[in-house]
């Protein structure tokens, strides 16, 4: 099969060729492109529609592909099938309730969403959370990153036909989830990290559970590497597929493991440390070629880095309060509510009316498992935000699809979409 050559001129034409509307794609009839040989003059290209109900588009992503034979000439992702109006709902919820809203955006790393939202509210309030809350937040977010990457290993394996990888990935993620359930009370959508700290302290015997998880996950990652990393079929499917250069990735707003896989070691945890990431020891994993295999390896190794951070968090977990002792944002302890009328009223007011946040605006970025997640929060001094905007990494990362699938085969498109790891709940919000 000859590799189609896409020249600059063709590229410009393809870029400009979107007057058909963003949600429509029409085949280019019998047209010879600038380079000459892409399509025979008599032949038409074919439009293949993938999704929104497609098993390998990770939710409800829809991609329209223009095919020349089996080669993808042009692609157009269509999103919005999971648009939930969360930013509008966020304007109607108080700052206390807001966490329930944002946690449902990126449902594979809900704690990252809660964290970025809570940090934005805290910055507007100009408050600092106590050290134990900082370290607990780090512990939880890294556990969540492990769970998210484990799930990605599972679904990526499933998409490429490695079904046993799927079963392994879910098995180890289940362990992490059960621990998070023990801490937060829910398997997903925890609403545990809240403005001012966390909802509760760590449970008894958390250390033993954590050690078991770390050992199991480390063992698991080695097992996955044995299973797939040198598997000839796996290499055949991934190496050199969906390449992206660093320049293109940066221009298109790509962040996270996709950017790192191109060989650009940019991780907000290192570059612009938040929480206490400057006090823990971990490495930024980056690839070389920016292909699907590098993205696979980056995510695989990031699990181990997360385990490293989790261990350090467990070792250095300070004692003290798990939330700020500021009566403005913190509800009274549960025991006080039973005995004190004032505490009951305080609790009631806090959860019905919430607290007021001084007028202002701020943007807080952190590193989620998918890249830079940011929260742009605008307050007008009332108990509800004027604007709650979440910069979802998946939303921007989906723009990497177009250059990556161009010139690839249809079967590669599945691998490429999978390697982007888009979470449509966050892209569409």
Select from 230-238, 288-296, 314-322, 356-364 the region that touches other proteins (CB under 8 A).
356-364
Restricting to residues 248-287, name those near other proteins by CB under 8 A.
Answer: 250-255, 264, 266, 271-272
Give the H or E element holding residue 65.
strand 62-68
Rg (CA), the chain: 23
Three-state secondary structure call for residue 126: coil
- Determine the Cα–Cα distance for residues 198 and 330; give it in Å rounded to an integer: 10
Cβ 28 to other proteins shortest distance, Å: 16
Q: Are 343 and 336 in contact (CB under 8 A)?
A: yes
Residue in 4, 38, 39, 59 binding other proteins, rule: CB under 8 A = 59
Out of 33, 79, 111, 115, the only residue in the binding site for other proteins (CB under 8 A) is 79
Q: Which positions from 407 through 426 interact with other proteins, judged by CB under 8 A?
A: 424-425
Q: Is 326 in the site for other proteins (CB under 8 A)?
A: no
Strand 71-78 versus strand 62-68 pairing type: antiparallel
Which of these segments, 84-92, 217-225, 279-287, 315-323, binds other proteins (CB under 8 A)? 84-92
CA–CA separation, 270 and 288 (whole Å):
19
Q: Does 406 bind other proteins (CB under 8 A)?
A: no
Among 112, 167, 105, 101, CA closest to 141: 112
Q: Is 49 in the site for other proteins (CB under 8 A)?
A: no
Task: Give how many residues touch other proteins by CB under 8 A.
Answer: 84
d(CA 366, CA 373): 6
Q: What angle do CA 23, 394, 10 make, to 5 degrees?
A: 50
Q: Which of 116, 95, 129 is nearest to 376 (CA)?
A: 116
Q: Least CB distance from residue 358 to other proteins, whole Å? A: 4
Min dist. Cβ of residue 233 to other proteins (A): 21
Q: What angle do CA 18, 20, 25 make, to 5 degrees?
A: 90
One residue of 7, 9, 18, 340 binding other proteins per CB under 8 A: 18
Instruction: Look up residue 72 and give its two tokens.
Output: 């993808």
Binding mask of the shown chain, residues 361 to 390, with x at each position contacting other proteins by CB under 8 A:
xxx-x------x-x-x-x-xxx---xx-x-
Strand-strand pairing, 360-368 and 197-198:
unpaired
H or E element, residue 151:
helix 131-159
383 CB neighbour count, 10 Å cutoff: 16
Residue 16 within binding range of other proteins, rule CB under 8 A: yes
- Our finding on whether 218 is near other proteins (CB under 8 A) is no
**The only residue of 55, 315, 319, 335 in contact with other proteins, by rule CB under 8 A:** 55
State which of residues 27, 131, 263, 360 lies at the interface with other proteins (CB under 8 A). Answer: 360
The residue among 54 and 308 lying less far from other proteins, judged by its C-beta, is 54
The single residue among 48, 89, 273, 314 that binds other proteins, judged by CB under 8 A, is: 89
Q: Pick from 6, 141, 166, 193: which binds other proteins (CB under 8 A)?
A: 166
Candidates 151, 183, 244, 313; binder of other proteins (CB under 8 A) is 151
Helix (H, G, I), strand (E, B) or coil at 410: helix
**CB of 232: closest distance to other proteins in angstroms?**
26
The DSSP call for residue 199 is S
């Amino acid at each position: 099969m000859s590799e189609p050559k896409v020249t600059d001129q063709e590229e410009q034409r393809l870029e400009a060729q979107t007057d058909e509307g963003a949600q429509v794609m029409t085949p280019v009839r019998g047209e010879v492109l600038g380079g000459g040989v892409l399509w025979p003059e008599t032949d038409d290209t074919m439009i293949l529609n993938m999704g929104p109900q497609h098993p390998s588009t990770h939710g409800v992503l829809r991609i329209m592909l223009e095919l020349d034979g089996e080669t993808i000439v042009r692609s157009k992702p269509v999103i919005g099938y999971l648009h939930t109006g969360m930013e509008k709902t966020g304007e109607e919820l108080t700052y206390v309730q807001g966490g329930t809203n944002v946690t449902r955006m990126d449902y594979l790393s809900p704690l990252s969403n809660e964290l970025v939202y809570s940090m934005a509210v805290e910055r507007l309030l100009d408050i600092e959370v106590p050290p134990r809350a900082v370290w607990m937040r780090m512990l939880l977010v890294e556990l969540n990153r492990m769970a998210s990457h484990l799930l990605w290993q599972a679904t990526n394996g499933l998409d490429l036909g490695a079904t046993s990888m799927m079963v392994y990935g879910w098995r180890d993620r289940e362990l992490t989830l059960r621990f998070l359930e023990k801490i937060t009370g829910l398997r997903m959508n925890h609403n545990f990290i809240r403005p001012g700290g966390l909802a509760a302290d760590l449970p008894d015997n958390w250390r033993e559970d954590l050690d078991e998880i770390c050992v199991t996950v480390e063992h698991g990652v080695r097992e996955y590497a044995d299973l797939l990393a040198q598997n000839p079929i796996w290499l055949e499917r991934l190496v050199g597929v969906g390449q992206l250069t660093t320049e293109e990735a940066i221009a298109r707003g790509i962040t996270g493991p996709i950017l790192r896989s191109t060989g650009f070691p940019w991780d907000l945890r290192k570059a612009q440390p938040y929480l206490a990431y400057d006090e823990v020891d971990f490495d930024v994993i980056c690839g070389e070629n920016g292909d699907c295999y590098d993205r696979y390896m980056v995510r695989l190794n990031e699990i181990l880095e997360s385990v490293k951070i989790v261990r350090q968090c467990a070792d250095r977990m300070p004692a003290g309060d798990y939330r700020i002792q500021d009566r403005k944002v913190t509800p009274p302890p549960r025991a006080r509510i039973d005995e004190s009328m004032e505490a009951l009223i305080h609790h009631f007011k806090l959860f019905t009316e919430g607290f007021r946040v001084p007028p202002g605006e701020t943007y807080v970025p952190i590193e989620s498992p998918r890249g830079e997640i940011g929260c742009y929060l605008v307050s007008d001094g009332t108990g509800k935000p004027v604007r709650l905007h979440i910069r979802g990494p998946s939303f921007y990362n989906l723009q990497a699809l177009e250059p990556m699938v161009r010139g690839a085969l249809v079967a590669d498109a599945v691998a490429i979409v999978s390697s982007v790891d888009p979470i449509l709940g966050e892209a569409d919000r």
